[in-house]
Amino acid sequence: MNILVINCGSSSLKYQLRNINTQRVMASGVVERIGESMGQITQRSFPDKWPDTKDTEELPILNHEAAMKLMVSKLTNGVIQSPHEIDAIGHRVVQGGESFSHPVLVDENVMNTIKDNIPLAPLHNPANLIGLEQAMILFPETPNVAVFDTEFHQTLPRHAYMYPVPKIFYEQFKVRKYGFHGTSHKYVSKTASVFIGQKIEETSLITVHLGNGCSMAAIKNGKCIETSMGLTPLAGLMMGTRCGDIDPAFHIFLAKNKGLPLSEIDILLNKSSGLLGICRKNDMRDIHEARLHGDDDAQLAFEMFTYRVKATIGAYLAILGSVNAIVFTAGIGENDPDVRSMACDGLENFGINIDPTKNNEKTAEARYINTEQSRIKVLVVPTNEELEIAKATAEVVND
Ligand code: AMP
């Protein structure tokens, strides 16, 4: 069964074609700068036999319809013979609101509900909808499945997801904590429970997704009971360019004292804050390089970033009561031993001990990085959101 996974952003389209029976990724690609004067498509193909190929082409890509057609023409140029070989399409959809706690087969009702949720994700859901609409036009016979970033967090208890603002905002506008990166938290929590040889229903985990966007989840017996992102992906940890949790009165301060309009506050907090706002760099590799050269702003950014992860580990230890493992994932979580060790530094009394040798190993496999004595296991698990979406799609279609 061949599953095409689509992640449609406002100016990009990421895709991956996988045979779910053999687990083989057949091709993956990204179309970038859709709608700009010059765009680009890059596709990597992984044929049964070597060699893999990488093909990049620059050309103007007018809109998402053109991007999808381009993807189909690249896929049918050697990877598959015809679009009919695609058995189902799995779509990443960012915001499912309270309507979706599982992946769903997409029909008109589902499309309308995703539209209804646009006010909660004004940048993401419209792009996700375009991907769905185009897939329905280009592959009229093929089932589409929507997999939501928010669905894994729908198990949060109400005392965790409600905000202490007048309740009418929840009742009328569904203002509450939703959480994001759900597909990643779900994938790494399942992978970690298999790795430590425990049933997910009997495992309590803290998952730490540190990439461009950063979020954490407290997972009790397989169910998410707390997460750091909120109504939007701006909340929680410090991120590459996003501020994470700050005093909400900062908005009032900016408006009153600086006269900033909402649009500029939005850009300031989403695109110019986080690591970038403190040290003018948002890639952790560049920040380490700068620290090595004595850049104090880079050092401060590193300390702030890891301090917030540590503080959230502490909060989630309290919420969960007992924890089997802490799981680091995503670009920084998987690759950065300094961030992992700093975030866990001083937590020995809580039963968390990192082994420096294991922590410094470079491998793309899931692995332990804790010492033998550590009561709580600490793991690095590479995330794989595309695989999780492909599996969920196959399950829904085969149901
Ligand atoms: P992601 O969003 O999961 O793709 O993560 C992207 C981020 O991971 C980049 O912005 C970097 O900050 C970080 N990253 C990637 N590779 C490394 C590495 N080897 N060491 C430290 N950070 C890394």
- Predicted confidence at residue 62, as pLDDT, reads 95
Q: For 154-190, write each residue's pLDDT tens digit.
A: 999 999 999 999 999 999 999 999 999 999 999 999 9
- Closest approach atom of ligand 1 to CA 286: 12
Domain enclosing residue 324, as ranges: 197-385
Task: Evaluate whether 275 touches 307 at the Cβ level (below 8 Å).
Answer: no
Q: Report the nearest-CA residue for atom 9 of ligand 1.
A: 283
C-alpha to C-alpha distance for 280 and 143, rounded to whole angstroms: 45
C-alpha to C-alpha distance for 4 and 11, rounded to whole angstroms: 19
C-alpha pair distances (Å), 90 with each of 15, 162, 168? 10, 30, 35
Task: Evaluate whether 345 touches 353 at the Cβ level (below 8 Å).
Answer: no
Instruction: Judge if 140 and 57 occupy the same domain.
Output: yes
What does the mean pLDDT of the chain come to? 96
Domain boundary among 148, 172, 187: 148
The average pLDDT across 141-148 equals 97
The average pLDDT across 13-37 equals 95
Domain boundary among 82, 113, 148: 148
Instruction: Judge if 234 and 110 occupy the same domain.
Output: no
> Does the pLDDT value for residue 258 go beyond 80?
yes
| CATH number, domain with residue 243 | 3.30.420.40
- Predicted confidence at residue 306, as pLDDT, reads 98
Tell me, in angstroms, the distance from the centre of ligand 1 to residue 330's CA. 7
C-alpha to C-alpha distance for 98 and 170, rounded to whole angstroms: 11
Domain boundary among 113, 148, 183: 148
Pocket of ligand 1 (CB under 6 A): 211-212, 240, 283-285, 330-332, 335-336
Instruction: Judge if 136 and 217 occupy the same domain.
Output: no
Instruction: Judge if 140 and 211 occupy the same domain.
Output: no
> Does the pLDDT value for residue 152 go beyond 90?
yes
C-alpha pair distances (Å), 311 with each of 1, 215, 225, 233, 394? 44, 13, 17, 19, 38
Classify residue 371: in a domain, yes or no. yes
Task: Evaluate whether 319 touches 204 at the Cβ level (below 8 Å).
Answer: no
Classify residue 121: in a domain, yes or no. yes
Q: For 332-345, write each residue's pLDDT tens digit.
A: 999 999 999 999 99
Tell me, in angstroms, the distance from the centre of ligand 1 to residue 35's CA. 27
Angle between helices 385-398 and 182-195 (to 10 degrees): 90
- In the chain, the percentage of residues whose pLDDT exceeds 70 is 100
Domain count, the chain: 2
Greatest CA separation for the chain: 63
Numbered residues of the known binding site:
7, 14, 92, 209-213, 283-285, 331-335, 385
Tell me, in angstroms, the distance from the centre of ligand 1 to residue 174's CA. 33
Instruction: Judge if 340 and 220 occupy the same domain.
Output: yes
Classify residue 39: in a domain, yes or no. yes
> Does the pLDDT value for residue 48 go beyond 80?
no
Model confidence at 153, pLDDT cuts 50, 70, 90, reads: very high
238: its two tokens: 């410090």
- Predicted confidence at residue 10, as pLDDT, reads 83
Classify residue 167: in a domain, yes or no. no
Instruction: Judge if 369 and 220 occupy the same domain.
Output: yes
Instruction: Judge if 222 and 104 occupy the same domain.
Output: no
Q: Which of 52, 63, 51 is nearest to 29 (CA)?
A: 52
Classify residue 153: in a domain, yes or no. no
C-alpha to C-alpha distance for 189 and 327, rounded to whole angstroms: 8
Q: Report the nearest-CA residue for atom 22 of ligand 1.
A: 332
Instruction: Judge if 116 and 210 occupy the same domain.
Output: no
C-alpha to C-alpha distance for 246 and 26, rounded to whole angstroms: 43
Q: CB atoms < 10 A from the CB of 28, how many?
A: 17
Classify residue 124: in a domain, yes or no. yes
Classify residue 171: in a domain, yes or no. no
Numbered residues of the known binding site for substrate:
92
Q: Residue 217 contacts by C-beta under 8 Å, 6 or more apart in sequence? A: 152, 153, 179, 181, 185, 189, 205, 206, 207, 209, 224, 226, 227, 228
The average pLDDT across 78-89 equals 94
- Predicted confidence at residue 122, as pLDDT, reads 86
Q: Residue 173 contacts by C-beta under 8 Å, 6 or more apart in sequence? A: 119
> Is 336 designated active site?
no
3-state helix, strand, coil in the chain (%, to 5): 45, 20, 35
Q: 268-272: list long-range contacts, CB under 8 Å, 24+ apart.
A: 269/234, 269/242, 269/243, 270/234, 270/241, 270/242, 271/241, 271/242, 272/241
Instruction: Judge if 140 and 205 occupy the same domain.
Output: no
- Predicted confidence at residue 9, as pLDDT, reads 87
Instruction: Judge if 213 and 92 occupy the same domain.
Output: no
- Predicted confidence at residue 352, as pLDDT, reads 98
Instruction: Judge if 115 and 238 occupy the same domain.
Output: no
Instruction: Judge if 221 and 341 occupy the same domain.
Output: yes
C-alpha to C-alpha distance for 357 and 170, rounded to whole angstroms: 48
Task: Evaluate whether 55 touches 49 at the Cβ level (below 8 Å).
Answer: no
Classify residue 325: in a domain, yes or no. yes
C-alpha to C-alpha distance for 154 and 178, rounded to whole angstroms: 7
Q: Which of 72, 69, 91, 89 is nearest to 80 (CA)?
A: 72
What is the helix (H) or strand (E) element at residue 328, kind and residue range? strand 325-329
Q: For 339-381, write each residue's pLDDT tens digit.
A: 999 999 999 999 999 999 999 999 899 999 999 999 999 999 9
